[in-house]
Structure 1
Amino acid sequence: MDIKFRCDCPFTSALDVVGDKWMLVIVKQMLIEGKETFKDFTESEEAIATNILSAKLKLLEEAGIIIKTQRPDNKKTNLYLLTDKGLALTPILVELATWSDNHLRDIHPIIQNGAGMEFLRKDKAAFASAIESKYREKLANTSVVKHSS
């Protein structure tokens, strides 16, 4: 699978990689919800079809946004983990959540509205830092081996 870029515009190029309906959802699931196995993703409320999930995970890996690894104690289960490039999407996810909170509640009033959203509203930078730090801590505590494709 090759990434196809429509032009040399940085905005359009970014959208060519992360701009489809599933890419940032998968990154959000990893970063905020702790999803890391294929099964984790298939059991999420977003209900991504397995064939689409496979294709999107491969594209995210090809783009260097995630890596596919294995636990040394269970080589049958692949883990998908965010790279530094993937974690650099954190501010974008935070801004999208902020925009949604501010502009979609009138047409989608049941958007999540708990303590996490309060934290986000109060201090976006601190919220982004907290979720990224929590993910990096998880990575530091995860024993994995690089998957050989």
Structure 2
Amino acid sequence: MSETIDPCPISPVVDLVFSRWTTPILWVLREHGRQRFNQVQRRLPAITSKVLTQRLRQLERDGLISRTHYPEIPPRVEYEITELGRSLSPVFAALTAWSDAHLSEVAAARRRYADSP
């Protein structure tokens, strides 16, 4: 029986961190600190409540955010990035730097591609 080796060792991290809406949610919580559900949703107006709920649960399950429930009336729930989630900051910084340096080149390549026969 042969062992299957993943040809790309970062695939699990890419699946974890860069699925749709995960990065924007982490970014919001990193930039703005502890947030209630509605605050996160206001900062990401294109996300639906259902998808935001799903992503927040996944991020909590994976240890990237924490959820704190306050037994008040009305109930209050807040979300905050964890130290594990915060440890992705250098990754986000590297991607921001790459984006600043190269997105114009990507846009130019796309224009050349669209104009080619």
Give the TM-score normalised by structure 2: 0.73
Deviation, structure 1 residue 69: 0.3
Q: Does 1:30 align with 2:33?
A: no
- 1:108-127 matches, cutoff 5 A: none
* RMSD of Structure 2 on Structure 1 (CA): 2.5
Aligned to 1:43, the other structure's residue is in SS state helix
Identity %: 28
Runs of at least 5 residues in structure 2 that lack an aligned partner in the other structure: 1-5, 108-117
Deviation, structure 1 residue 10: 3.7
Q: Quick check: which one's helix share is greater?
A: 2
Larger radius of gyration: 2
- Amino acid corresponding to residue 59 of structure 1 in structure 2: Q
The separation in 1 between residues aligned to 2:106 and 2:12, in whole angstroms, is 30
The separation in 1 between residues aligned to 2:105 and 2:45, in whole angstroms, is 21
Aligned to 1:43: 42
What is the count of residue pairs matched by the alignment?
A: 102
Q: Does 1:99 align with 2:103?
A: no
Give the TM-score normalised by structure 1: 0.59
Aligned to 2:20, the other structure's residue is in SS state coil
- Amino acid corresponding to residue 76 of structure 1 in structure 2: P
Change (3 A) 1:74 1:90: farther
Moved more, 24-33 or 67-76: 67-76
The separation in 2 between residues aligned to 1:65 and 1:107, in whole angstroms, is 30
1:86-110 residue CA offsets vs partner (Å, 9 max, x unmatched): 11011111111111111224678xx
- 1:1-149 matches, cutoff 5 A: 10-34=9-33, 36-71=35-70, 76-105=75-104
1:41, 1:48 within 8 Å by CA — same for their partners in 2? no
Runs of at least 5 residues in structure 1 that lack an aligned partner in the other structure: 1-6, 109-149
